[in-house]
Every structure is written in structure tokens, then in C-alpha cells.
Structure 1
Amino acid sequence: MASLAMNHILERIALFQFTPTHCIQARAMLGWSVEQLSREAEVPVEDIQRFEAQQDVADAARLALAYRFEAQGLVFFPGFAPGRSVSVARESAGHADFAMVD
């Protein structure tokens, strides 16, 4: 079991790696609307819209979004579009899954 300090560090890493552009791209990859993401992540639509518009939202909302996408097998790295984790069937991953973010 990870310590509280370790959990805090992991949350900081997740917040750093997950950007508004990632959120938009991840929704597109999954075919989710803002409303569906709101239901899936239990985050208000307004918070998602603010985040995607690069406005401030609570860290808890950002983490809920990132963790919900990660539960769908997506991974996030600064400067890159979301990718599929290796636990997802390898044949479903293509070149577009690893493209650089504009």
C-alpha cells in the first residue's frame, strides 16, 4: 500500500501529464461527448468545458478526468497525443495513437 506522500506525488505527476488538449483528444478517441465524460467521471459539464478551454479547475476534477480515461486504457505524456496502454490489444494501436500533439 502506497503511503500518503507517494499518493500525493503520483497525483502531481498525473496532473502534470494530463493537459486540456489531452482531454479533447481522449474524448475524440473514445467518441465521448462532454456530457458523456461528465457522467463517466462524475465531473460537472461546466468544469470539463473550463478545463478544455484552458481555464482553472479544481485538481480533484482534473484527476477524476485523467483517471477515468486511464481506466479506458489511455495513457498521457506531455507533448504527445494520448496513447493506448500495453494492456489494450496491441493490434488496435496504430501510428495515430502515438502522434505528437500540435
Structure 2
Amino acid sequence: MASLAMNHVLERIALFQFTPTHCVQARAMLGWSVEQLSREAEVAVADIQRFEAQQDVADAARLALAYRFEAQGLVFFPGFAPGRSVRAQGMAGESVGRGDFAMAE
């Protein structure tokens, strides 16, 4: 199990790598509306709209969005469109919920 410090570092990396443009692109890749993403990530529609408009939102909301997309197999790197992750054969995908990661608000 990762330490609290390691979780904090991983969250900072996720926040750096996941951009508003990624959010728009990832929704398009999955065919999700803002409303569907809101339900899936448990983030308010207004927060998603603000984030996609490149306005400030809470780190917790951004992490929830990034982690929900990652649970769908998407990966994010600055300067590149989202990509699909390659999972080892035989590994089952696991769903990630908001309670599965630490969030500093």
C-alpha cells in the first residue's frame, strides 16, 4: 500500500498531466456528454463545464475526472491527445470510485 506522501505525489502528477483539452477529447473518445461524465465521476456539471473552459476548479474534482477516465483505460500525457492504455492479458479492469484515492481539498 502506498504511503500518504506517495499518494500526494501521484495526485500531483495526475493533475499536471490531465488538462481541460484532455477532458474534452476523452469525453469525445468515450461518446460521453458532460452530464454522463458528471454521473460517472460524481462531479458537478458546472465544475466540468468550468474545467473544460479552462477556469479554476477544485483539485478533487479534477482528480475525480482524470481517475474516472483512467478507469476506462485512457492515459494522459501533456501535449498529446488521450491514448488507450495497454493492459496485460488476463487482467480484469477495475472500476475506480472517488473513495479509492486520497483527495486534498
The bucket for the TM-score relative to the shorter chain is: 0.7 to 0.9
SS of 1:10's partner is helix
- Does 1:28 find its partner at 2:28? yes
Aligned position for 2:60? 60
SS of 1:78's partner is coil
Q: Percent identity at matched positions?
A: 92
1:1-102 map, 5 Å:
1-87=1-87
SS of 2:57's partner is coil
Greater share of residues in helix: 1
Which 4+ runs in 1 deviate beyond 4 A? none
RMSD over aligned CA atoms reads 1.2
Question: How far apart are residue 88 of structure 1 and its match?
Answer: 8.4
Q: 1:58-79 CA distances to partner (integer Å, 9 max, x unpaired)? A: 0000000000000000000000
Amino acid at match of 2:77: F
Q: 1:40-93 CA distances to partner (integer Å, 9 max, x unpaired)? A: 00000000000000000000000000000000000000000000000289xxxx
Greater RCO structure (CA 8 Å; 6+ sep): 2
CA distance in 2, matches of 1:82, 1:48: 17
Structure 1 length-normalised TM: 0.85
CA distance in 2, matches of 1:64, 1:75: 14
CA contact (8 A) 1:14 1:63 kept: yes
Structure 2 length-normalised TM: 0.83
Provide closer, same or farther for how the CA distance between residues 86 and 49 of structure 1 changes in structure 2, counting only shifts above 3 A.
same
